[in-house]
Every structure is written in structure tokens, then in C-alpha cells.
Amino acid sequence: MTDRYELTMIDAAMQAGTAFRPSVFEAFGRRLSGGRRYGVVAGTGRLLDRIEQFSFTDAQLKFLREGNVVSPEALDYLADYKFTGRIRGYAEGEPYFPGSPLLTVEGTFAECVVLETVILSILNYDSAVATAASRMVTAAGTRPVAEMGSRRTGEESAVAAARAAYIAGFTNTSNLEAGIRWGIPTMGTAAHSFTLLHDSEEDAFRAQIDALGVGTTLLVDTYDTARGVDLAVKVAGTELGGVRLDSGDLPIMAARTREQLDALGAKNTLITVTSDLDEHAIAGLAASPVDAYGVGTSVVTGSGTPASGMVYKLVAREGDEGWKSVAKASENKASHGGEKLAVRTLEDGVAVEETIFMGDPTKDDAADASRGRGLQVDLVRGGAIADEYRGAAGVAKAREHRKNAVAELPIVAHRLRPGDPAIPTVFR
């Protein structure tokens, strides 16, 4: 989980006597990729586990030694590596905006820089999924949305995606491992292969109902959807739990299927749709008689924005002349150095500004800060990790937090069209 340059930088800095300068790194996004109106921070709980486990095995040290990647002195340092610093950051589930100081990592240069890749991998991917998922949840209104995209992303990313989507308000997931690791409710219907396995669609429906009861959801579009619906009600009766449509023009198919189910007396049988949905398709089905959505590819790939574009930068460090704020100055990528205090400024309970106080806040600043909600929480102190943000409890907390914090955003935040962030970020 480390890029080679992190280790060679530590090596070079050790030789130059600068490796253990107290330093502050910050993870932030310069913009909201894809013209999103807001982002949703996700991955924090996973990241805390990774930081706790972060160390170098004998096999890894051997690889570094035999490949002459770093000097013996640097190898000794890495062999004993353990993060002992402090990490503050936005709570998991928190909306964020360009320049929001999402994670502030304090420690020696060496212990902070080596975490760069793992911090960014997790925050960039998980937040991309949560950001897309949050738009889908809003577009779905009161209808439930299931995450079914495991097969469209790397096999470990699949578990992370299920987790991030659930934090962003999805109802459940098809991914069983996400159920085991993070306590997320799991669901499932059946695949076309199950119908094709049997000698007839009727045999397949009967087999599924015998095993799972009439409350199950039958996939009715393997051969002909209208005949599939007829058959489903014939086999299961009017108490059939649901039917799933996975192909065709969904608004038309949903309307026809609802009419057909009602005519057959299956008025309580729900319609789930699952074919290549994203937030726009979900919004387009708002007036259709759909009861639940299943989303695959688009949620696990961030709906066109598969990486959030966050970066991890040194913003302050102690040198021979004491603490110094630092920032890269090259074109198009100006950064704000120094430590920051982040506040979501509210008016009548509605967010109006992401306010970032730089350096030591003044008395006026403190008065301004009191008009909003402080956004940073302690995640790691002296190497000890705050347990409340971890495990299944951390996921549940993050899901609740996202719900409440998104409710604070102005209505423009929910526009699906690409555009400006819902509130401005102001550095004070």
C-alpha cells in the first residue's frame, strides 16, 4: 500500500537530517470532480484499521533490501514503523467542498509521508462511491436503493463500495462480505441463469418460491416479461413479494407491469428495477410505478467520477526557524499552507459557507465560527485510534451523520446537472 517514492524520500531525508521534522500533512480536494455540488467523505473507518495495521513484514523488508530500494538505516526505521502521531478529520459521512481539510495528519515527516498512498487510495475511492450514491439516494426519494455492483469493480473494492453506498443512504447490498465485515443488510433475488437452469420458467419460479417463500422477488424478463409476470402470479399467488425487471425500456415496462399485476390482483407485489441505473435514470423513473431500485456499475464506479481527486500535501513543518506553513506555488495548483479550522457556517439551519480559518483564529473569527458547526473530529491521538469511528458501529454512525449533514445543505445541492459547489469555500 506504499509508493516507492515515499520510502526513498524517507531515506534521503534521514541522510539529510530532516526526516523527523515535526510535520503537518493535509488531505483535500482542489475541486469536486464531475461538477458535483457536494462530496461525501467515506472510507475513514477502513482507513483507521489500515493505519493501525500499517507496518512492514519481514518479506517486505527483504524485498526492499534485496532490491536496494532504501539504505540499511531506512530499513531499520521501517522495521519498527508505527504511526504515533495525531489525525483529525471530517467525520465519515460528512459532505465536503473544494479545499475542505478532510484529514490533517501530524507527526514526523517520515511517519506521515509513508501513509500517503493508503490514505488517498481509501479516501479517493470510497468518497467517489459515497458521493455518487448520495445523489442516487436523493433522486430515489423515499424508495429504497440496493447496491448490486460487486461484479463491476475489483473484488476488495466491491466490499468497500457496498460500505460507502450504505453510508450514503443505500438500503442494503448484494455483497455478503460487506454484511460480515460491516454489518450491512444483504439482499438478493435470482439471476437469469437460474431460470435457464430449469426445464421451464415455471419450474424455476416454483423452485425459488419453495426455497424462499412467496415473499421473494422473481426475475420475470428471461423470455417474455408479460408472460413472466403472468406465470409469476400463477405460481406464487397474489401475495408474491416482488418482481424484478432487468432489461427493456424501464418506464414503459414498469407501467405495463404494474397494470398487469394490479389486473391479476397482485396489488401489493413490488416492482424492483435494476438495468444500468444511475442517478439520472433513477430521477427519470420518479413518476413510474417503481418500488425499489438496484444499482450496479454506476455506483461502484462513482457514476462517471471513479476517483475523487483528493491530494495529500505537506502544509506545515518545523525547521531550524520554528514552525513554517508551506505550499507549492506552481501554476494551476496553488495550495493553502498551514493548519486549518473548518466550520460549516449555517443560517437558519441551512449551510451557506464552508469556512476555513487559517492559522490562529482571532476573537472575530471565534464569533464567526460560532455561527456554524465544527467539522473536524479527533480520529487518532498519540497513535491511539478513536474506536467510535470503526467497525459496524462506525458505519452506522457515519450513515446517520451523512443523513443529518446532507439535510443541512441548500436545495441546489441536489441538482444533478454538473455545476458549481452548493456552497462556497472561504478561507479566512
- The interface with a second copy within residues 56-75 (CB under 8 A) comprises 59-60, 63-64, 67, 69, 71
By rule CB under 8 A, what string of x and - marks binding of each residue 183-212 to a second copy? ---xxxxxxxxxxxxxx---x--xxx-xxx
Should residue 312 be labelled a site residue for a second copy when binding is judged by CB under 8 A?
yes
**How, if at all, do strands 103-108 and 322-325 pair?**
unpaired
- Torsion (CA) 72, 75, 76, 81 in degrees, nearest 10: 170
Judged by CB under 8 A, the residue of 100, 104, 301, 376 near a second copy is: 301
Should residue 50 be labelled a site residue for a second copy when binding is judged by CB under 8 A?
yes
- Judged by beta carbon, residue 189 or residue 376, the one nearer a second copy is 189
Judged by CB under 8 A, the residue of 40, 148, 352, 356 near a second copy is: 148
Query: Which residue pairs from 359-368 have beta carbons closer than 8 angstroms and sit at least 24 positions apart in sequence?
Result: 359/325, 365/428, 368/343, 368/428
Integer-rounded Cα radius of gyration of the chain: 25
- Judged by beta carbon, residue 211 or residue 411, the one nearer a second copy is 211
Q: Report d(CA 327, CA 358) in Å as an integer.
A: 13
- 63-to-8, 79, 82 alpha-carbon distances in Å: 14, 12, 19
Q: Report d(CA 414, CA 51) in Å as an integer.
A: 34
Tell me the closest approach of the beta carbon of residue 129 to a second copy, in angstroms: 9
Judged by CB under 8 A, the residue of 30, 152, 373, 428 near a second copy is: 152
Tell me the closest approach of the beta carbon of residue 161 to a second copy, in angstroms: 8
Tell me the closest approach of the beta carbon of residue 178 to a second copy, in angstroms: 10
The count of other CB atoms within 10 Å of the CB of residue 385 is 18
- Judged by beta carbon, residue 18 or residue 425, the one nearer a second copy is 18
Tell me the closest approach of the beta carbon of residue 284 to a second copy, in angstroms: 17
Should residue 76 be labelled a site residue for a second copy when binding is judged by CB under 8 A?
no
By rule CB under 8 A, what string of x and - marks binding of each residue 158-187 to a second copy? x-x-------------xxxx-xx-----xx
Should residue 142 be labelled a site residue for a second copy when binding is judged by CB under 8 A?
no
Using the CB atoms, write b or e for 218-237: b if 16+ within 10 Å: bbbbbeebeebbebbbebbe
Judged by CB under 8 A, the residue of 328, 370, 378, 400 near a second copy is: 328
Residues whose CB falls within 8 Å of the CB of residue 237, separated by 6 or more in sequence, listed in order: 214
- 94-to-102, 210, 258, 313 alpha-carbon distances in Å: 9, 44, 38, 21
Judged by CB under 8 A, the residue of 65, 82, 84, 155 near a second copy is: 155
Should residue 313 be labelled a site residue for a second copy when binding is judged by CB under 8 A?
yes
3-state secondary structure of 244: strand
Should residue 292 be labelled a site residue for a second copy when binding is judged by CB under 8 A?
no
Tell me the closest approach of the beta carbon of residue 350 to a second copy, in angstroms: 33
Should residue 262 be labelled a site residue for a second copy when binding is judged by CB under 8 A?
no
Binding positions for a second copy, 386-425, rule CB under 8 A: none
* Total number of residues that touch a second copy (CB under 8 A): 105
Using the CB atoms, write b or e for 403-416: b if 16+ within 10 Å: eebbebbeeebbeb
Tell me the closest approach of the beta carbon of residue 270 to a second copy, in angstroms: 17
Judged by CB under 8 A, the residue of 326, 358, 392, 396 near a second copy is: 326
Should residue 330 be labelled a site residue for a second copy when binding is judged by CB under 8 A?
yes
Residues whose CB falls within 8 Å of the CB of residue 158, separated by 6 or more in sequence, listed in order: 149, 150, 151, 175, 177, 178, 300
- Torsion-angle region of residue 93: left (phi > 0), alpha (psi -120 to 50) or beta? left
Binding positions for a second copy, 93-132, rule CB under 8 A: 109, 113, 116-118, 120-122, 124-126
Residues whose CB falls within 8 Å of the CB of residue 309, separated by 6 or more in sequence, listed in order: 29, 30, 31, 33, 124
Site stretch for a second copy (CB under 8 A), options 90-98, 321-329, 358-366, 373-381? 321-329
Task: Pull the grid cell for residue 345.
Answer: 457556517
Q: Report d(CA 292, CA 187) in Å as an integer.
A: 12
